[in-house]
Amino acid sequence: MNDANDIRPLNLEGGAPDLTGLTAIENGGVTSAKGFKAAGVHAGFRKNPERFDLALLVADEPAACAATFTQNVFCAAPVTVSREHLDGVSYGTARAFVVNSGTANAATGSVGIESAKRTAEIVGEVVGCPASEVMVASTGVIGVQLNMATFETGVPMAYDALSEDGGAAAARAIMTTDTHPKECAFSFSGDEIGYPGATFTIGGMAKGSGMIMPNMATMISGITTDAPVTPDVLHAALKQAVANSFNKVTVDSDTSTNDCCFLFASGAAAPGAEPFQPGSPALAAFQHALDAVCGTLARAMAADGEGATRLITVRVAGAANDAQADIAARTIANSPLVKTAIFGHDANWGRIAGAVGRSGADFNQEDVSIDIMGLPVMRAGLPVPFSEEEALRRFERPEIDIDVDLGAGTARTVMWTCDFSYEYVTINGDYRT
Amino acid sequence: MNDANDIRPLNLEGGAPDLTGLTAIENGGVTSAKGFKAAGVHAGFRKNPERFDLALLVADEPAACAATFTQNVFCAAPVTVSREHLDGVSYGTARAFVVNSGTANAATGSVGIESAKRTAEIVGEVVGCPASEVMVASTGVIGVQLNMATFETGVPMAYDALSEDGGAAAARAIMTTDTHPKECAFSFSGDEIGYPGATFTIGGMAKGSGMIMPNMATMISGITTDAPVTPDVLHAALKQAVANSFNKVTVDSDTSTNDCCFLFASGAAAPGAEPFQPGSPALAAFQHALDAVCGTLARAMAADGEGATRLITVRVAGAANDAQADIAARTIANSPLVKTAIFGHDANWGRIAGAVGRSGADFNQEDVSIDIMGLPVMRAGLPVPFSEEEALRRFERPEIDIDVDLGAGTARTVMWTCDFSYEYVTINGDYRT
């Protein structure tokens, strides 16, 4: 039970990734970790010759690989084929990762499956590895078949362009309506975790949150590390990191048909060393850095949501359990009424209360506290007077925090979304008229 | 399994209410049924003196009454009090129904509960009945206490204005951002159902789909009938009608704190007659007419959604069970991507496929068929070529049909929503800046 007279800010924790002990690498990305080269080129999937549309990532040696895939029943052909290449268990060994933008290869039937398989073969031939060691991903228009001739000419071009500085080009090549590329990399020392002298790096790229015509299939992320991690352990770490990052992002509640996240581990930072063991300090440090990479990319994705003017961080505490914390935060983050209010710089706590009230989470309304941008606006289920002037000042911040304490338990979560603007309607409704 | 080569339109049924055997009453509403008087007046909850803000409905004699209430945990004080007046079982006996617009009496704590109780007392004193026979409802701004002096002066004013033609004024008095009042009434003959010579009428008013500042608590409906129905039977009939009408409307996925629907039965069309019995042809005819009233009001609510330019009817067939049909239709109807596409006159089947794919309904993508406005756009999970010109022509219709057959079973449902326009963002985001 919250006290109506206690109107100190909730100050819920969480939001920005915890970077303790990590070193951010300037302009870091998917080639920051040792053992990987990448390229981004214009192959011809898009008409604009200035626009990169094919990304290739190649590991010097076969790397451990883990992935997470969209849950959408209408999953795209490359998702099906990549999952098969990982023996259906979403982890294994891989040499290469190829992504085209412009065409999603979703809703393309058996022809689409053959195209995705052939793409892997083309890459395998050029790189010199089995097709089963190639991960494929596509993003772009749904319901259109891939132009395979573009792969036949584009993959060798990308292979020739591979470099240890190619991460930035690769990150540009996977963009659709993203307004800027999304990359980051962090390193951590092996000294205190049983790998003296070694420095491990995790870096990644992501694209997301854009749809243009008729339906851009959205989130794709590729992450590399030079830490020694076996595929099964890598998969467990990735699942945990994705659950707390990409899966906590919602731009418009629409899950794409093509969502996928791939993590490749070369082990090149400590050749011949024992892989990180479950329960070890090394794996804990790795998880911490992986969480930072995924969290950074996920927040960048939410902030660059279609038409977004503000990143919104929704923190829910005091839920009865994790599932209820999630559904409460998700309902707030998906509410068009909340998102348009933020766009209009309106500290509209009534809509936030309405959203958690209908979310399905169990609580009593007289136990609820809400803060917006650190301003207490509801205590014990009743409105708290606040300065509208101060609220308008805080709305100038690029990041808007919504904190809710349900007063029903100890579970908590964080989600990221963006506001809902005219530009969203323009991007998604207006382009044909 | 659907055949990819069979591209005849799906022609799924449902959408407009079935009016077979019913007589629509011109300008009909909440006073069309015998035994009820109503009024709408300007009491002073709103500043504009031209705007009605207090509706009063009074039955000549105590009437059977049934109600359905919002599931939102942040339910408003009048919801709590009306439910208490119906002995907590949502049905009983009532003489009067009072609704104010302008103030929602939600998030108002114990003071709000006392205000709702006092409102019922004021009406009871004027009408001459126990406060427990008064149903109360409020709509308007959340978090503001009711002005009780306005009730003290307004209720006698409304009582003096009561008339058998007062339905239209009452329907106007409950409006918030609605652009027009919503009323209808239908009658049916008792001749073939064991009540020879009698004509029964059901009529209702509703408001909905509007939020203005800081949060208008939305859907309220009052329905009357002169058929003889006991409270428990009335409640069962109302629950069924609401499930297939108001509960199938979504404007923006946000369930209000104040939603309620009240149904009053005077029995005045057949005084002294045996009440309609469960399983009887009379009750079946009553249910049919009640479904028509609720369906008509629900569609009007969706069509008048905030910023709406089109009514959208989503029909899902071939689902494995009712719950899956509902979640598939609901996910399409709530998708901002689908709603902005309709606003942009874009027959964007990819977004519809994406929405059902993430809805949680079980199906195989190669079994799915989709039509938009009767145009086949997907068969067997693959796109079907269609004339963009013909699609643009059909987008001129005021009502847009989306038909989806999941090919996974026999369950089906219908939902209503509206498109998502710039005006929605203006109404909900822009009014403070």
How wide is the angle at C-alpha A248 spanned by C-alphas B324 and A224, nearest 5°? 115
For A222-231, what is the mean pLDDT? 94
Q: Write the CATH number for B326.
A: 3.10.20.340
**Is residue A212 over pLDDT 60?**
no
In B226-310, which ranges are E strands?
A: 260-265
pLDDT confidence of residue B245: 82
Q: Are A57 and A36 in contact (CB under 8 A)?
A: yes
Q: Which of A22-31, A337-346, B25-34, B76-85 has the lowest mean pLDDT?
A: A337-346
What percentage of chain B has pLDDT greater than the value 90? 60
Sign of the alpha-carbon dihedral angle for B300, B302, B308, B313:
negative
Edge-first strand listing for the sheet containing A311-319: A382-383, A375-379, A369-372, A399-405, A311-319, A411-418
Domain that holds residue A417: 311-429
Backbone angles phi, psi at B101, to 5 degrees: -115, 155
pLDDT confidence of residue B9: 77
Contact B415, B250 (CB under 8 A): yes
CA distance A39 to A55: 6
Q: Which residues of B are catalytic?
A: 218
Question: Which H or E element spans position B206?
Answer: strand B199-207
pLDDT bucket at B1, cuts 50 / 70 / 90? very low
Same domain, A59 and A198: yes
Q: Is residue B34 classed as helix, strand or coil in its secondary structure?
A: coil
Is A395 in the B-facing interface, judged by CB distances under 8 Å? Answer: no
- CA B355/CA B335 separation, integer angstroms: 7
The reply to whether residue A109 touches residue B366, judged by beta carbons under 8 angstroms, is yes
Residue type, B394: R
* Predicted confidence (pLDDT) per residue in A34-52, tens digit: 999 999 999 999 999 999 9
In a domain, residue A8? The reply is: no
Confidence check: pLDDT of A371 > 60 = yes
CATH assignment of the domain containing B37: 3.60.70.12
Residue B334 or residue A363, greater confidence: A363
Per-residue confidence (pLDDT) for residue A250, from 0 to 100: 65
pTM score: 0.79
Which H/E stretch holds residue B141? strand B134-141
What's the rounded Cα separation, in Å, for the pair B53 and B41? 6
Residue A346 scores a pLDDT above 90: no
Residues 161-190 of B with CB under 8 A from A: none
DSSP B249: B
Confidence of residue A168 (pLDDT cuts 50, 70, 90): very high
Q: B433 in helix, strand or coil?
A: coil
Which positions in chain B touch A341 (Cβ < 8 Å)? 428-429
Average pLDDT over residues B419-431: 73
Residue B406 lies in a domain: yes
| A3 found inside a domain | no
- Between B74, B350, B366, which is nearest A357 by CB? B74
Q: Could you tell me which residues come within 8 angstroms of residue A374 by beta carbon, excluding any fewer than 6 positions away?
A: A9, A11, A394, A401, A403
Please determine, for residue A71, whether its predicted confidence score (pLDDT) is greater than 80.
Answer: no
Residue B53 to residue B49: CA distance in whole angstroms? 9
Cβ of residue A425 closer than 8 Å to a chain B Cβ: yes
Looking at residue B431, what is its pLDDT? 44
* Residue A98 Cα distances to A93, A141, B32, angstroms: 15, 17, 68
Q: In whole numbers, what is the pLDDT of chain B averaged over residues?
A: 88
d(CA A30, CA A36): 8
Closest Cβ–Cβ partner in A107, A344, A362 for B383: A107
Q: Does A4 have pLDDT greater than 60? A: no
Collect all residues with Cβ–Cβ distance below 8 Å to B103 and sequence separation of at least 6: B45, B138, B140, B141, B144, B145, B146, B147
Instruction: Assess if residue A24 is contained within a domain.
Output: no
Q: How far apart are CA B117 and CA A166, in angstroms?
A: 70
Q: Is-contact B325 B413, C-beta < 8 A?
A: yes
Taking the C-alpha atoms of residue A98 and residue A81, their distance in angstroms, rounded to an integer, is: 12
Q: Any bridge partners for residue B24, and if so which?
A: B186
Query: Are the beta carbons of A350 and B106 separated by less than 8 Å?
Result: yes
* Residues B360 and B251 occupy one common structural domain: no
pLDDT reported for residue B250: 65
- Closest to B353 in 3D by CA, of B375, B383, B325: B383
Residue A74 · residue B365 · CB < 8 Å: yes
Same domain, yes or no: A270 and A324: no
CA of A134: how far to CAs of A42, A99, A120, B227, in Å? 20, 11, 5, 71
Structural domain count, chain B: 2
Cβ atoms < 10 Å from Cβ of A270: 21
Least confident range from B69-83, B93-107, B252-266, B312-326: namely B252-266
Interface of A with B in 141-160 (CB under 8 A): 141-143
Which stretches within B62-186 are classed as H helix? 77-85, 109-127, 148-161, 167-173
- Helical (H) or strand (E) element with B243: helix B231-243
8 Å CB contact between B391 and B378: no
Q: Which of A277, A303, A329 is the last residue of a domain?
A: A303
| Average pLDDT, integer, range A319-340 | 90
Phi/psi region, residue B271 (left: phi>0; alpha: psi -120 to 50; beta: rest), is beta
Cβ(B185)–Cβ(B202) under 8 Å? yes
- 8 Å CB contact of B350 and A106: yes
Residues 211-230 of B with CB under 8 A from A: 211, 213-215, 217
Residues within 8 A of B (CB atoms), A 4-23 only: none
Q: Is B336 exposed, middle or buried (0-12, 13-18, 19+ CB in 10 A)?
A: buried
What is the Rg, in whole angstroms, of the alpha carbon atoms belonging to chain A? 22
Q: What's the confidence (pLDDT) of residue B46?
A: 92
Looking at the domain assignment, is residue A16 inside a domain?
no
Looking at the structure, do residues A328 and A293 belong to the same domain, yes or no? no
**Nearest by CB: A433 against B254, B345, B429:** B345
B23: which DSSP letter?
E
Among the candidates B303, B326, B359, a domain finishes at B303
Pick the closest to residue A43 from A32, A33, A51, A34 (CA basis). A51
Lowest mean pLDDT among A261-265, A344-348, B11-15, B264-268: B11-15
Task: Summarize the confidence of residues A192-200 as an average pLDDT.
Answer: 94
Residue carrying the six token digits 């309405």: A354
Q: Is A55 left (phi over 0), alpha (psi -120 to 50) or beta?
A: beta
**Does a cis peptide bond (omega within 30 degrees of 0) precede residue B62?**
no
Nearest-CB residue to B337 (from A348, A428, A430): A428
What b/e sequence results for A371-392 when a residue is b if at least 16 CB atoms lie within 10 Å of its CB, and e otherwise? bbbebbbbbbbbbbebeeeebe
The confidence band for A191, taking pLDDT boundaries of 50, 70 and 90, is very high
Q: What is the ipTM of this complex?
A: 0.71
Residue to mutate among B138, B139, B215, B356, with most A CBs inside 10 A, is B215
Indicate whether B276 and B382 sit together in one domain. no
Alpha-carbon gap, residue B141 to B256, rounded angstroms = 12
Note whether residue B18 is domain-resident: no
A359 and A250, same structural domain? no
Separation of alpha carbons A358 and A353, rounded Å = 9
CB contact under 8 A, B356 and A73: yes
Q: So what's the pLDDT on residue A87?
A: 85
Model confidence over B364-374: pLDDT tens digits?
989 999 999 99
Q: Is the pLDDT reported for residue A266 higher than 50?
A: yes
CB half-sphere exposure, B362, CA atoms < 13 A: 8
Report the pLDDT value the prediction gives residue A253, as an integer from 0 to 100: 53
Domain boundary, last residue among B271, B303, B335: B303
Backbone torsions φ then ψ of B63, nearest 5 degrees: -115, 155
Going by the DSSP 8-state scheme, the letter that residue B191 receives in this structure is G
Cα–Cα distances (Å) from B291 to A430, B125, B204, B297, in that order, read 37, 34, 11, 10
Average pLDDT over residues B344-354: 87
Say whether residue A111 is in contact with chain B using an 8 A CB cutoff: no
Percentage of residues in chain B having pLDDT higher than 70: 94
For chain A, the three-class secondary structure string (H helix, E strand, C coil) is CCCCCCCCCCCCCCCCCCCCCCEECCCCCCCCCCCEEEEEECCCCCCCCCCCCEEEEEEEEEEEEEEEECCCCCCCHHHHHHHHHCCCCCEEEEEEEEEEEEECCCCCHHHHHHHHHHHHHHHHHHHCCCHHHEEEEEEEECCCCCCHHHHHHHHHHHHHHCECCCHHHHHHHCCCCCCCCEEEEEEEECHHHCCCCCEEEEEEEEECCCCCCCCECCCEEEEEECCCCCHHHHHHHHHHHHHCCHHHECCCCCCCCCCEEEEEECCCCCCCCCCCCCCCHHHHHHHHHHHHHHHHHHHHHHHCCCCCCCEEEEEEEEECCHHHHHHHHHHHHHCHHHHHHHHCCCCCHHHHHHHHHHCCCCCCHHHCEEEECCEEEEECCEECCCCHHHHHHHCCCCEEEEEEECCCCCEEEEEEEECCCHHHHHHHHCCCC
Q: Mind listing the pLDDT tens digit for each residue in A231-262?
A: 999 999 998 888 888 877 765 555 557 778 89
- Give the pLDDT confidence of B110-148 residue by residue, as tens digits: 999 999 999 999 999 999 999 999 999 999 888 889 999
Q: What is the structure's pLDDT at B433?
A: 40
> E-assigned strands of B228-289?
260-265
B211 contacts on A by Cβ (under 8 Å): 337, 351
Which tokens sit at B86?
């119906």
Q: Does A296 share its domain with A324?
A: no
Please identify which residue in the block is written with the tokens 């989600």. A415
Asked if B346's CB is within 8 angstroms of A425's CB, the reply is no
At residue B84, the pLDDT reads 94
Instruction: Considering only residues B421 and B5, tell me which one the structure prediction assigns the higher pLDDT.
Output: B421
Q: Are A317 and A10 in contact (CB under 8 A)?
A: yes
Per-residue pLDDT band at B5 (split at 50, 70, 90):
low
pLDDT in tens, B192-231: 999 999 999 999 998 876 543 334 456 788 999 999 999 9
- The model's confidence at residue B282, banded by pLDDT at 50, 70 and 90, is very high
What residues have CB less than 8 Å from A236, skipping those under 6 apart? Answer: A278
Structure tokens at B58: 């009074």
Is B228 found in the same domain as B100?
A: yes
Structural domain includes residue A21: no
Using the predicted structure, report yes or no on whether residue A218 has a pLDDT greater than 80: no
Regarding whether B319 and B408 lie in a shared domain, the answer is yes
* Whether residue B275 has a cis bond before it, omega within 30° of 0: no
- Mind listing the pLDDT tens digit for each residue in B296-344? 888 888 888 777 888 899 999 999 999 999 999 988 988 888 888 898 8
Residues A158, A38 share a domain = yes
**pLDDT at residue number A5:** 63
Q: What is the CA radius of gyration of chain B?
A: 22
Considering the domain architecture, whether residues A281 and A217 belong to the same structural domain is answered as yes
Stretch A380-387: mean pLDDT, rounded? Answer: 90
Positive or negative, the CA dihedral B320, B321, B323, B327 is: positive
Contact criterion met (CB below 8 Å) for B144 and B109:
no
- Give B4 or A277, the one with higher predicted confidence: A277
Identify the three-state secondary structure at position B236.
helix
In a domain, B95, yes or no: yes
Considering the domain architecture, whether residues A204 and A349 belong to the same structural domain is answered as no
